[in-house]
């Protein structure tokens, strides 16, 4: 902002913080061992959910990890350790696996939750920087965070430690996701709303179906074609052959090119043959990109495995824009 003074070392401090946290991430990647793979195996074997818990800043990270796991196909929930001691332990049952985060491994609020897992034989994965801490010695599986300094300069503000823990959670979630062959379509099932859902929408989700298709036969008079164009409101009509396949389309441009004696022609004489089409399982974003690149407003939807190329629907550029596809 104009007029705002900046201390000469502000940018240097910022770069140092980022560099120290990056060093922590590099150390974390180098130090991953059998504890990480054992945690994956335990989660994959659990018929229930992953219960993620932590106190304070670790709790904020735990919430995010639980959300990332859930959105990538691994059922997960966050349980606050203090609330767990006042009834929420009932949310954790046999069949679940518990992932507990604590940089020190000695957070007192975790005691009841840890004891609950020991009492009922629920697998416990501990994540902490102190391998001999209470959490890590009680855990069935221990993932030790590297002994890296916090980036605050005074060694007490959770910075590097929380960044490493967050990245560890991402690594667990993505390893689980890839292991089960999780796809973009699966991801969309958990994200139907907002911009992300729009980006992953398929053509079949937005297209107008067979009942709304403007179609005429090859030998149809252009009077019929004009009525179909104006009646449907897409500015185009599809021209079908004897098998019902899409032989061509008639657009505004075709009408202008054949203006002289237009009504004396059949649709097959005016049409643009072999028009560009789109698959029903293609992303709507792909269809929008094609329409923008070719400066057209509609695409007929055709199953590429159908040798006859019978049209299944039609997608207008406005359908994409209304859905938030960009």
Confirm or deny that 80 is annotated as ligand binding: yes
Pairing of strands 76-78, 50-54: parallel
Residue the block writes with tokens 């009834």: 87
* Residue 6 burial class via C-beta count within 10 angstroms: exposed 0-12, middle 13-18, buried 19 and up: exposed
Structure tokens at 195: 């911009």
Strand ranges for the chain from DSSP E: 50-54, 76-78, 97-101, 124-128, 141-144, 215-217, 236-240, 246-251, 272-273, 277-278, 298-302, 311-316
Q: Are 100 and 127 in contact (CB under 8 A)?
A: yes
User: What whole-number distance in Å separates Cα of residue 83 and Cα of residue 326?
Assistant: 42
DSSP 161: H
DSSP string, 219-288: T-BHHHHHHHHHHHSSSEEEEE-TTS-EEEEEEHHHHHHT-TTGGGSBHHHHSEES--EE-TTSBHHHHH
Residues 6+ apart with CB under 8 A from 69: 50, 52, 75, 76, 169, 172, 173, 176
User: What whole-number distance in Å separates Cα of residue 99 and Cα of residue 51?
Assistant: 6
User: What whole-number distance in Å separates Cα of residue 134 and Cα of residue 91?
Assistant: 23
Helix (H) or strand (E) holding 81: helix 81-84
Name the binding residues for Zn(2+): 80
Name the binding residues: 80
């Amino acid at each position: 902002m104009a007029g705002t003074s900046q201390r000469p070392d502000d940018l240097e401090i910022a770069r140092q913080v980022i560099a120290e946290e990056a060093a922590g991430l590099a150390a974390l990647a180098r130090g991953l061992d059998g504890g990480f793979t054992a945690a994956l195996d335990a989660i994959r074997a659990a018929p229930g959910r992953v219960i993620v818990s932590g106190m304070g800043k670790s709790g904020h990270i735990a919430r995010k990890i639980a959300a990332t796991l859930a959105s990538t196909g691994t059922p997960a929930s966050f349980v606050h350790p203090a609330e767990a001691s006042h009834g929420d332990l009932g949310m954790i049952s046999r069949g679940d696996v518990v992932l507990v985060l604590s940089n020190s491994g000695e957070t007192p609020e975790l005691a009841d939750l840890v004891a609950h897992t020991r009492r009922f034989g629920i697998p416990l994965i501990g994540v902490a920087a102190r391998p001999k801490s209470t959490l890590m010695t009680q855990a069935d599986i221990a993932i030790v965070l590297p002994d890296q300094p916090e980036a605050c300069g005074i060694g007490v503000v959770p910075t590097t430690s929380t960044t490493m823990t967050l990245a560890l959670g991402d690594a667990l979630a993505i390893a689980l996701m890839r292991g089960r062959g999780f796809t973009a379509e699966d991801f969309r099932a958990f994200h139907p709303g907002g911009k992300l859902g729009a980006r992953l929408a398929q053509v079949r989700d937005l297209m107008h179906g067979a009942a709304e298709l403007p179609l005429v036969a090859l030998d149809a008079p252009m009077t019929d074609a004009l009525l179909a164009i104006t009646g449907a409101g897409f500015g185009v009509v599809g021209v079908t052959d004897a098998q019902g396949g899409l032989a061509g389309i008639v657009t505004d441009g075709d009408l202008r090119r054949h203006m002289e004696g237009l009504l004396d022609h059949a649709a097959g004489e005016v049409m643009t043959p072999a028009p560009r089409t789109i698959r029903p399982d293609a992303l709507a974003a792909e269809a929008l990109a094609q329409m923008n690149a070719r400066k057209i407003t509609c695409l007929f939807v055709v199953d590429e495995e159908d040798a006859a190329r019978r049209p299944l629907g039609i997608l207008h550029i406005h359908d994409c824009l209304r859905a938030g596809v960009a």
